[in-house]
Structure 1
Amino acid sequence: MKLFIKRNKYQDKQTLGTMDVVDAQNKVVFTCYTLELADKNNQPQVSCIPKGKYKVKKRTSKKYGHHFHIQDVQARSYILIHHGNYHTDILGCVLVGKSFLDINGDGYKDVTESKNTMKKLLNLLPEEFELTII
């Protein structure tokens, strides 16, 4: 299994995208939406990470429960794929959800049903896999 994030919309505070889970036959088996911080040249805690290929591992923490850890991001550490709804919930990580909606009325789209989306991803993806961000 592989994971692909296609960034579709760059804004001043955030980046919106689509995430596809692709099986060994290159068939898309699951799609969801992503929310990342704006692109600010990979600055720690205020920017999305650079486009590219990354190794990802499953991880568990008290704060996020079961989630994913994106490995070997240049000049960054602990970049995660985890649940959350708003760009204010992240410090460089990737949030996942079922759809986009301005939940809190701040004029920016948020991701919905993030915890349920994470559960689906955790059930689909192996312990380690490759992520490509385009």
Structure 2
Amino acid sequence: MEQIRIVRVAQGKNSTLSHLYIGGLFVCYLLEDSIRTEKIPGRTCIPEGEFGLSLNAWAGMNAKYISKYPKLHEGMVEITEIPNYQLVFIHIGNYHTDTAGCPLTGSYWQLIDGDYRVLHSAAAYKYVYPLLVKEIERGNDRVVVCNQCSTSESPSLR
């Protein structure tokens, strides 16, 4: 199976810039809240580790996305099995203030006043969403999250 990986590459004052890889290929940028040793609800990115991926068709965010993308949307791509976190979705947004611990998709990034932001978020989402759905449907339903690791590095080697 092609491994799905979130690799954190840069830290801002309140933000974290990541790369999303599927099978070793870069597919988009991700923006999250800061990396913190202590979890702060709504202000902390998900921890390093290996987690599940699933399609969530019942959470409230679905209504917004199904009306916005009726031909694309099959449920929110949810990162599951994260200790102390629930309803963590890969979704659209541009600033760390647009997330409460969820990764936001982006085609480009900028560093402004010490914080990262992603741009063309909807375009990145429309590109990466069907790729993730396809992987989940074929049973490739795990994601590895790591801080500045290589795309081929196994989490057990860290």
TM-score (norm 2): 0.71
Partners of 1:59 and 1:118 in 2: how far apart? 16
Shift of residue 43, structure 1, vs aligned partner: 2.5
SS at match of 1:48: coil
RMSD, matched Cα:
2.0
Partners of 1:132 and 1:13 in 2: how far apart? 22
Partners of 1:56 and 1:42 in 2: how far apart? 21
Say whether residues 1:130 and 2:128 are aligned partners: no
Greater per-residue strand proportion: 1
Tell me: higher relative CO, structure 1 or 2? Use CA pairs within 8 A at least 6 residues apart: 2
**Greater than 3 Å deviation, 4+ residue runs:** 63-67
Say whether residues 1:31 and 2:40 are aligned partners: no
Task: Give the unaligned 5+ runs of structure 2.
Answer: 67-72, 147-158
Task: Give the unaligned 5+ runs of structure 1.
Answer: none
Partners of 1:57 and 1:130 in 2: how far apart? 9
Partners of 1:38 and 1:32 in 2: how far apart? 19
1:50-96 deviation per Cα after TM superposition (whole angstroms, max 9, x unaligned) = 00111111234124444311111101111111011111100011001
Greater per-residue helix proportion: 2
Shift of residue 19, structure 1, vs aligned partner: 0.9
Q: Alignment identity in percent?
A: 30
Is the CA contact (8 Å cut-off) linking 1:57 and 1:127 kept in structure 2? no
TM-score (norm 1): 0.83
Alignment match, 2:155: none
**Larger-Rg structure:** 2
Partners of 1:43 and 1:76 in 2: how far apart? 11
Alignment match, 1:46: 43
Which amino acid is 2:116 matched to? K
Partners of 1:62 and 1:127 in 2: how far apart? 23
> Quick one: structure 1 residues 83 and 91, their matched pair in 2 at CA, closer, same or farther if it must change by over 3 Å?
same
Aligned length: 127
